[in-house]
Structure 1
Amino acid sequence: MAAVGAPPPRATDCVTKVALTISCDNLLDMDAFSKSDPMCVLRMNTSGPHWYEICRTEKIQNCLNPRFSKSLVLDYYFEVVQKLRFEVYDIDTENCNLEEADFLGQMECTLGQIVSSSKLTKPLVRRDRTPAGSGTITICAEEQTDNRVVLFEAAARKLDKKDFFGKSDPFLEFYKQTETGWQLAHRTEVIKNNLNPTWKPFRISMQSLCGGDVEKLIKVDCYDYNNSGSHDFIGSFQTTLSQIQQATQSYAAEFECINSKKGKKKGYKNSGVIIIKQCKTVKEYTFLDYIMGGCQINFTIAIDFTGSNGDPKSPRSLHYINPQGYNEYLAAIWAVGNVIQDYDSD
């Protein structure tokens, strides 16, 4: 039973948004008659010595142990080594000009190190790498996304017959309410020639279905599938995820499938009944959840030294013993190892 217009499956992207919460302790006191007014600036390294500012926290007045309330949000890519530098300044101007600020210390690390630790504390150092007093900085990471999904089991009873030589080939479409109208969130597979179908269990992300708001209206349309693509409308109903969940706690939630065009016909009740047998919200764990939960990635290297790879004295061989100590195998090992090392504690 093929899904109508369903997109092909794709691998989960190893990218997500991460919110970094920053705090410091024992900062240098650079003000004569008060304490430092710290602010943290986050920079990222792209290539070579080049660092560019991504974002910064708010300034906290007169504090040597600041807890910054503004989170710094980054896109986290597992396959990329994202080098970060946290710079702490004592801000003396209203416009937070760094050129007029006193430098309190910095810390460099990768985003992977923060994510795999969940909470990372390191000493602050001056630009010459000497300790910045006894100052430390603590970074906490939290994934910025709603990872909940809703598991559905749906069926129908006594749907309208739409096909001249058969019954109906029904499928369902779930819609999310948005400011600009209804947005398709999910489409089930087609059940051929059946007025009392039972669809395979399916899942819809909470974000796609209702934006994480269980009280927001959702719409469910039922259609009779046609190969031409012009599907016949059977009926529809609107509800909320909260209503479905409450109803399914006892047995099953039943909703009359209404075709508004038939509503004026004498004796019309409905075009069938849609039955939600199960509606369960669960968290779908991401790659980041596993890493922050303590999952370790072990890096094992195996090299094939067969004769077909060529003479290692020849530059054409992948095993070429380069006088500069660098070949293609080493390049690959170096590239992968740089990523994996942040996720293996031994």
Structure 2
Amino acid sequence: MLVATRVAALTECILLVRTEEVLACNDVLVMKLCGIKLDKKDTFGKSDPFLVFYKCNEDQREMRIPVSSLCNGDVNRTLKVECYDWDSDGSSHDLIGVCITNVLELSTPNSTFELKHPKKASKKKYTNSRTIRVEHARMIKNYGFLDYIQAGVQMNFTVAIDFTQSNGHPSDPRSLHYINNVGLNQYATALQSVGNIIQDYDSDKMFPALGFGGKLPDGSVSHEFFLNLNPGNPFCAGIGGVMHAYQSAIRSVALWGPTNFAPVINHVARFAAAMRDGTNYFVLLIITDGVITDMPQTVQAVIEASYLPMSIIIVGVGNADFSAMNVLDADNKVLSARGRSAQRDIVQFVPLRDYLTSGDNAMVQARLAKAVLAEVPDQFLGYMRRHNIEPPKQRLAPQSISSGPSSAQPSAPPM
């Protein structure tokens, strides 16, 4: 036992945790620097300088950090800047010089900093390795999603549900629209999961809901009809009202086709186009089971919508081929068509089947909602920052949005 005790003692270790308070700060330093007659490091041609910024910790240790976290909010904190001559091999960059500064100095236009090479500093005739000048600099606020919401910017939520035949007849237990009194079908699961979260950001919680690809009771086929089948008042009270409208529509609207997305995207985009000032942001939730049949028109609609205060969430239900959805999601490649490219990535696609592994319905809904809404805040901020829109200084009062009739039936504000 004595030997065992000694061995255990030898394996003990001490975990030293260093902590540091980060001051509340949402500023972003934007600046442009230029080198002035920097020392040449190459035999032929001028130097190719780049800078490395360091911040000094309280215990004087140095660590390499991204510019976005220069000084933990303390503008007087010491920064070390190294200027190198870039070499293509990536491993033998030549040091031109070093300077010591801070964010306060860096944010002052026309400030200059002497670059000094440590090995040359002891030479009598050496003064410096030339200078770095701040050509322009400014401090901007890095506002977050909640800053805009708390200032009264309104999130406008619209639902669009797929009523095409590929879903299967609602009386068939295999149908994705299956009507039963026991649990939620996949459409209802997706709608409730996302809606219960996003409705908290809507001021009046009155939502219009659309259907597409269905044959209406009057015999017409529509890709942009109001889910409650009331052409004069499409609003549903809360997500509960949307669920009620969906359950009623699935009993009276015949599943038809084809699966066209462009009409419902353009429907919401019309309202977003009229509200570009940052007081409103529009989110369209499309729930669908299959392949898009108007892909060229849909791609064009998404590209046009990317210039507007708008996001599109697509939830795929069932086991169809959703490869076209990944094209629209455009996480790895900018969406483009007809010589025009999307300004922002505004589409988030999530296949529901990836979240149905747990038997706990509440857990399924929570995981789905988290995945579906993950990109909306960044998409929202992307629009605001691109257009230099700050949160209103005074909280905005809730406002109603109205419009004239559309080509299909009276338009309604997607709120």
Query: TM-score, normalised to structure 1's length?
Result: 0.49
- Structure with the larger strand share: 1
